[in-house]
Chain A
């Protein structure tokens, strides 16, 4: 049996699956239910200074795709709207009752040293395992000079991180906003400020839909809507890229990363771990199905690790990082062609029409004694994968490697590149 326990920047948890700072971790009641279900840790919903914020009614919106609900999810909720003391008391009790689970507290106070110092002391008193600095919330709080308003200014990120490290012994995780041009600038600032870890991504600025009857963005609050924070399965590719950017950045080398963004099952989690993450955080999937999804996450990851012979998370963590390359490092001599397995072809014609209309006219459509036949024209096929991706039958279209005995040659070495560094 694989060992799923993980020590993330000094924060220990029996498995790497944490609930992200969000509504599911707003109260003792929810967190206890999560721990009962098996979650390895939680990041408690962001605490701020009293008086607590006030939330609006109508807070969430979602993108649905082909009958699948909540492919993308958006919220305009603020940080916790409960008094600070109530949260702190509950955090202390939960940590006391669940000593083996990770209890990290998310924080967001004004960008001044004193408020950070004050709140850190109070959190330390609860016995919590660490803090996560919420520099990412893109709505409501950012307009008050907090959240992503801090996260978008590297100097602020560094400054606040440094204050936290100075005023507390707790591990400090800096949560990064994706609403930024280059995620590495914020991550580097966190590293310079002494952060013990970073977590990403926070939600993305978004309007999930426009109600064409009301003529307003959703979720609608009395006829109007504000931009929200986007998350859920739809954002996973964006999160993976940002995680990879940090993982292979020399200035961020070795910084523990907690992955967040569309993680709904063990496989999603494993992908984030392959790109360097030590723990992963989940919210939307839990808000869709409830806490019991963690059972599949734990057993699925464990079974896959056993199958692969990985005994611990670190056995496979970061293994995909060296294979994340820059485009100009790719082998220009690599050549693949589409191959259609005529026995499994169901004659939907999508390979033909996508290639014919939108790509390289490399798949012909003919009839042989009335029967449809789709065939690849090797000469025209550039190996783009489009037909394989459009084909609804698994493994009906595969890509076959056809370059033979050609050496590795990247774009920098390619004679077709006007700026080539090739010898000739």
Chain B
């Protein structure tokens, strides 16, 4: 079962449930914290390094040969090289090292789970458990360049070729930037009013403060040769067949349009939300005091989205926030660092419990019933039969997103799918000639910004080869 679309409209009727004094049936309220508290809670969680600290941190890098960090970076940034350049005050050179491989190096510096990527592989992690803070250094270098307002890249001579790009998220913009550099003109079609994809609509506020996602979009578009059209959704305003006719090649970077459902009775009642929808609303609401949040919040899921919505709930003023995950901590896709971050924010994480029922009061969620789980002899999860209940004014579902195949597969032009997502070969080519895809919508993608950027970059190079032969 799949729910689609934005469910923000659900907020409105909830306000009427507010009730002072006697037992509160559904205690959901906006403005639980003062403006100052909210400003502090949604400020940059990792303030940028100043020049001195960056120099000292850069000097901790051993400048490894065949550096493990570089191998761990999905975009293959020459990390030792960019760090050395920071230490010598060649910050421009450093930033270009990063951006040449990853045009969203600024966003990735802020949102990458570095503990399982570059910093996890840093030899200092093996040596002393304290990696060079590569993410913070990457932010230092890319911020420096972006603050200069400089566009370090130029376009090759125009090829006269046009490429359609579906989705203005990390994959689409990365592909567009590389294609434009190579001399091709790009038209990007985006369903939402803003570009940036999950950088704009999905990442936690306190990771990308000061409207960073839009600044980065402007930086990328500053190269020229890229036009973005908003309000254009594949399957609605756009048809793949038409795009294939009108353009020399097509790149699909449309992400995943839906979320997984719990498949429980009452999933549609008041107080039950898709975490990604709420997060999108939160990102688009500058005045956080306008956001209603429950006194008691339950989050179901084990990934980054579960962590994000739980921490944000807490930071909006929720009193009790509990993440419930059906397996143990090690099985959560949220990293150790993310789990600890949630816990230090006062979020409780409960393991080995799966939801079996949603209880309601006056049509709104009042509690969630869980069954304790355990791992069966074959590794499969089994219910123990034992049950417990956690009271909740709000229930967030964060058990994963789904690719919606209909818009692309439902057209005359049939795209082959694999595991419910678009199937591509090693060069990101789909089953349709001239149509390439990357990012969260393709099979095998791990769901990270950095992976989407790499997909876009590699697909752009493949499209360039294709156009040269066409």
Residues in A lying within 8 Å of B, measured CB to CB: 66-67, 346-350, 352-353, 365, 372, 392-393
Contact = CB atoms under 8 A, between A and B. Distances in A.
Interface in B52-94: 52, 55-56, 59, 62-68, 87
Given A66-B87, A67-B56, A372-B68, A350 B62 contact: yes
B56 A350 contact: no
A213 to B, nearest CB: 12
Contacts of A67: 52, 55-56, 59
Contacts of A348: 62, 64-65, 67, 123
A393 B68 contact: no
Given A66-B87, A349-B66, A393-B127, 16 more contacts: A66-B56, A66-B59, A67-B52, A67-B55, A346-B123, A346-B127, A347-B68, A348-B64, A348-B123, A350-B63, A350-B64, A350-B65, A352-B66, A365-B65, A365-B66, A392-B62
B22 interface: no
Contacts of A353: 65
Contacts of B124: 346
Contacts of B55: 67
B126 interface: yes
Interface in B14-68: 52, 55-56, 59, 62-68
Interface string B142-163: 0000000000000000000000
Please indicate which of the listed interface residues A66, A346, A350, A392 has the most CB atoms of chain B within 10 Å of its own CB.
A346
Given A352-B65, A353-B65, A372-B66, A347 B59 contact: no
A67 B64 CA distance: 19
Contacts of A392: 62, 123, 127
Interface of B: 52, 55-56, 59, 62-68, 87, 123-124, 126-127
Nearest to A68: B59
29 contacts: A66-B56, A66-B59, A66-B87, A67-B52, A67-B56, A67-B59, A346-B123, A346-B124, A346-B126, A346-B127, A347-B68, A348-B64, A348-B65, A348-B67, A348-B123, A349-B64, A349-B66, A350-B62, A350-B63, A350-B64, A350-B65, A352-B65, A352-B66, A353-B65, A365-B65, A372-B68, A392-B62, A392-B123, A392-B127
Contacts of B123: 346-348, 392
Contacts of B66: 349, 352, 365, 372
Contacts of A66: 56, 59, 87
A372 B123 CA distance: 12
B261 to A, nearest CB: 39
A393 B123 CA distance: 10
A347 B69 CA distance: 11
Contacts of A372: 66, 68
Contacts of B65: 348-350, 352-353, 365
A67 B61 CA distance: 12
A238 B64 CA distance: 31
Contacts of A352: 65-66
A347 B67 CA distance: 8
A355 to B, nearest CB: 10
B54 to A, nearest CB: 10
B126 A347 contact: yes
Nearest to B127: A346
B365 to A, nearest CB: 48
Contacts of B127: 346, 392-393
Nearest to A353: B65
A387 B70 CA distance: 22
B354 to A, nearest CB: 36
Please indicate which of the listed interface residues A67, A348, A352, A392 has the most CB atoms of chain B within 10 Å of its own CB.
A348
Contacts of B52: 67
Please indicate which of the listed interface residues B55, B66, B124 has the most CB atoms of chain A within 10 Å of its own CB.
B66
Contacts of A365: 65-66
A138 to B, nearest CB: 30
A372 B121 CA distance: 12
Enumerate the 3 nearest inter-chain pairs by beta-carbon distance, A residue then B residue, closest first.
A349-B65, A66-B59, A353-B65
Contacts of B68: 347, 372
A349 B63 CA distance: 9
Contacts of B126: 346-347
Contacts of B62: 348, 350, 392
Contacts of A347: 64, 68, 123, 126
A349 B126 CA distance: 14
A392 to B, nearest CB: 5
A195 to B, nearest CB: 44
A66 B54 CA distance: 11
Please indicate which of the listed interface residues A66, A347, A350, A372 has the most CB atoms of chain B within 10 Å of its own CB.
A347
Contacts of B87: 66
B458 to A, nearest CB: 21
A349 B121 CA distance: 14
B47 to A, nearest CB: 19
A393 B127 CA distance: 8
Nearest to A367: B66
B39 to A, nearest CB: 33
B90 to A, nearest CB: 13
A372 B65 CA distance: 11
B430 to A, nearest CB: 30
B53 to A, nearest CB: 9
Contacts of A349: 64-67
Nearest to B122: A346
A68 to B, nearest CB: 9
A372 B66 CA distance: 9
A368 B87 CA distance: 33
A71 to B, nearest CB: 12
A376 B64 CA distance: 18
Nearest to B66: A349
B89 to A, nearest CB: 10
B273 to A, nearest CB: 43
A347 B64 CA distance: 8
A16 to B, nearest CB: 34
B80 to A, nearest CB: 10
